[in-house]
Amino acid sequence: MNPVEQIAQYATGHWVSQMVFTFVKHNMGDAFQQQAATATQIAERTGVNEDNCFRLLRALAPLGILKQDDDQFSLTELGEFLTTEHPMSLTDKVLLEAGYEHVLLWTHLSDYMVNSTPAPKAIFELDNYFGLFEKRPKHLDVFAKAMGSYCQDEIAMIESMSSLDLSELDTLVDLGGAYGDLLVSLLQRYPNLEGILFDQAAVIDNALPLDRMTKQAGNFFKQVPENQDGYFLKHILHDWDDALCLKILGNIKRVMKPSSRVFIAEFGPVPETDEPHLSKMFDLHMMLTLNGKERTLTQWHELLSSAGFKIKMIHDSFGPLSVIEACSVDLV
Ligand SMILES: C[S@@+](CC[C@H](N)C(=O)[O-])C[C@H]1O[C@@H](n2cnc3c(N)ncnc32)[C@H](O)[C@@H]1O
Residues in the chain: 332
Q: How far apart are CA 152 and CA 156, in angstroms?
A: 7
Q: Residues 215, 189: contact at Cβ < 8 Å?
A: no
Q: How far apart are CA 279 and CA 98, in angstroms?
A: 18
Can you give the pLDDT at residue 130?
87
Examine residue 269 and say whether the peptide bond preceding it is cis (omega within 30 degrees of 0). yes
Closest CA to 309 of 268, 257, 250, 239: 250
Can you give the pLDDT at residue 209?
83
> Interior CA angle at 281 toward 17 and 121, to 5°?
80
* Amino acid code (one letter) for 268: G
Pocket, ligand 1, Cβ cutoff 6 A = 130, 147, 151, 176-178, 199-200, 203, 219-221, 234-236, 239
Can you give the pLDDT at residue 170?
98
The residue whose CA is least distant from atom 12 of ligand 1 is: 176
Which residues are designated catalytic? 238
Can you give the pLDDT at residue 310?
98
Residue 105 half-sphere exposure, CB side, CA atoms within 13 Å? 25
For residue range 202-242, list pLDDT tens digits in order: 888 878 888 999 999 999 999 999 999 999 999 999 999 99
Positions of E strands within the chain: 37-38, 66-69, 72-75, 171-175, 194-199, 213-217, 230-234, 261-267, 309-316, 321-328
Q: How far apart are CA 37 and CA 15, in angstroms?
A: 24
Cα 28 to chain centroid distance, Å, stands at 24
Per-residue pLDDT in tens (0 to 9) along the chain, 332 residues? 899 999 999 999 999 999 999 999 999 999 999 999 999 999 999 999 999 999 999 999 999 999 999 999 999 999 999 999 999 999 999 999 999 999 999 999 999 999 999 999 999 999 989 899 888 889 988 998 898 888 888 999 999 999 999 999 999 999 999 889 999 999 999 999 999 999 998 888 878 888 999 999 999 999 999 999 999 999 999 999 999 999 999 999 999 999 999 999 999 899 999 999 999 999 999 999 999 999 999 999 999 999 999 999 999 999 999 999 999 998 87
Query: How far lies 239's CA from each of 153, 242, 267, in Å?
Result: 20, 10, 12
Q: What is the Å distance from ligand 1's center to 53 Cα?
A: 38
* Amino acid code (one letter) for 82: L
Q: What is the 3-state secondary structure (H, E, C) of 197-222?
A: EEECHHHHCCCCCECCEEEEECCCCC
Can you give the pLDDT at residue 152?
87
The residue whose CA is least distant from atom 11 of ligand 1 is: 176
Q: Which of 239, 240, 290 to mutate to test the pocket of ligand 1 (most atoms within 8 A of CB)?
A: 239
Q: What is the Å distance from ligand 1's center to 200 Cα?
A: 7
Q: Which of 102, 151, 220, 223 to mutate to test the pocket of ligand 1 (most atoms within 8 A of CB)?
A: 220
The residue whose CA is least distant from atom 1 of ligand 1 is: 235
Neighbouring-strand partners of residue 213 = 195, 210
Question: What is the residue extent of each domain of the chain?
Answer: 3-84, 111-328
Pick the CATH number of 3-84 from 1.20.210.10, 3.40.50.300, 1.20.1260.10, 1.10.10.10: 1.10.10.10
Pick the CATH number of 111-328 from 2.60.120.380, 1.10.10.10, 1.10.274.10, 3.40.50.150: 3.40.50.150
Neighbouring-strand partners of residue 74 = 67
Closest CA to 143 of 128, 135, 132: 132
The residue whose CA is least distant from atom 3 of ligand 1 is: 235
Q: How far apart are CA 221 and CA 246, in angstroms?
A: 9
Q: Which of 96, 128, 130 to mutate to test the pocket of ligand 1 (most atoms within 8 A of CB)?
A: 130
Q: How far apart are CA 112 and CA 106, in angstroms?
A: 10
Q: What is the Å distance from ligand 1's center to 223 Cα?
A: 14
Q: What is the Å distance from ligand 1's center to 130 Cα?
A: 8
Q: Residues 237, 220: contact at Cβ < 8 Å?
A: no
Can you give the pLDDT at residue 11?
97
Q: What is the Å distance from ligand 1's center to 175 Cα?
A: 7
| Ligand 1 atom closest to 154 (CA) | 8
| Ligand 1 atom closest to 203 (CA) | 25
